[in-house]
Amino acid sequence: MKVLFPSSELKQQVRTFPLKKKNKKNFSMKRGAAFFLESNLFVLLILAILLINKNHWDEDGSTMVIAFVSVFELLFMLLFVPACFFYEPVGINRIIQSIFQKREKNEWIGMALAFCVITLFSLGFIFLPYPSNYLPLWLTVCWVCAFVSIFIQRVVIVYYYSNANIENNQKSISNYFFKYVTYFIMGFNHYIQLLLSKMPFLLNKLFAIFAFLLLYKLN
């Protein structure tokens, strides 16, 4: 139930967590290009999942996939200019290191449990073959997170950190389970909201609403 209900510790973190809005940066095409590249790596992952089940597509399947990908590309293009000011690149090397880093036994077990639970929920979408049936579940949760982020963005960001960051004294199987569930259900929304949180208030809310509407169209 930790993923559903915030604790008193989380409430304290929300009040003290800095979003670094005051760190004004100069315009940098390098930051924008990094954002666009890293975002499209994510889109390529989604596209790969869809292509696995290409033999199961309907006649208009190609058109629907192109439209699906185009929605994400539209969002990324609109966020390109803000990203040139505010984005903090993740770094390809950091992504590769996180994938191939050495993991403890508890982490492997927690990851496997998270995978099994997410898979069981995704099997409810029987109208799509595996593994494409992960996408409706992921999109639905992303849509809900994007809606909540319009009103309590700081809470959503801190909530992600509280589950995704594992401290030295919190390396139990359950901690890793919640970590990987959080990655799946909130990772993309966190990636977008963290960028939006560094914008001026009106732009922040405008883009947050737009991101919510785009995800709504995909649902």
104 — pLDDT class (breaks 50, 70, 90): confident
pTM reported for the whole predicted model: 0.75
* pLDDT value for 78: 87
pLDDT, tens digit (0-9, with 9 covering 90-100), for 118-156: 999 988 877 788 888 888 888 888 888 889 888 988 888
User: 214 and 77 in contact (C-beta within 8 Å)?
Assistant: no
Q: How much of the chain exceeds pLDDT 90, in percent?
A: 8
Asked which of 15-24, 142-151, 173-182 is least confident by mean pLDDT, the reply is 15-24
1 — pLDDT class (breaks 50, 70, 90): very low
Domain boundaries, the chain: 24-218
Asked which of 57-61, 62-66, 85-89, 178-182 is least confident by mean pLDDT, the reply is 57-61
Q: Give the C-alpha separation, 60 to 57, whole Å.
A: 8
**Does the pLDDT at position 9 exceed 70?**
no
Q: Which long-range contacts (CB under 8 A, 24 or more apart) does 144-151 make?
A: 145/185, 145/186, 145/189, 146/189, 146/192, 146/193, 146/208, 146/211, 146/212, 146/215, 147/212, 149/189, 149/193, 149/196, 149/208, 149/212, 150/205, 150/208, 150/209, 150/212
